[in-house]
């Protein structure tokens, strides 16, 4: 079983739609949680950290459920530029740094006109 599980997609949605991605992790000792975005053949880039209380950054909302070991990302009002692969990432370290990140395989999003 993978340490971080994600639906690989692809999710094909029209512009303006709301889309949600889910992720589960198996290591209950995980302390830090992130969503990264990766464009085709590019490097992963931090989209947002995920906090227990849930957090929002513009059109993006992340939620964490430690009891269920479940992380989600909601994108509202999708833009063409949101098309990318979204990586769910966890770390056993409660430092906020990215040492020894564990990645999911990613969920691919394609936003269309």
Q: Which residues bind other proteins (CB under 8 A)?
A: 2, 4, 42-46, 87, 95-106
Nearest Cα to Cα of residue 23 among 35, 40, 37, 11: 35
Residue 87 Cβ, how far from other proteins at the closest point, in Å? Answer: 7
Nearer residue to other proteins within complex by CB, 43 or 81:
43
Nearer residue to other proteins within complex by CB, 35 or 78:
35
User: What's the CA angle centered on 99, arms 21 and 88, to 5 degrees?
Assistant: 5
Residue 106 Cβ, how far from other proteins at the closest point, in Å? Answer: 7
């Amino acid at each position: 079983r993978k340490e971080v599980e994600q639906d690989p997609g692809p999710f094909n949605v029209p512009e303006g739609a709301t889309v949600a991605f889910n992720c589960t992790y198996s290591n209950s000792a995980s302390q830090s949680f992130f969503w990264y975005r990766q464009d085709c053949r590019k490097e992963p880039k931090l989209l947002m950290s995920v906090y227990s209380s849930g957090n929002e950054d513009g059109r993006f909302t992340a939620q964490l459920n430690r009891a269920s070991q479940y992380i989600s990302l909601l994108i509202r009002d999708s833009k063409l530029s949101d098309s990318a692969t979204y990586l769910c990432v966890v770390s056993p370290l409660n430092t906020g740094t990215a040492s020894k990140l564990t990645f999911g395989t990613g969920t691919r999003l394609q936003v269309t006109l």
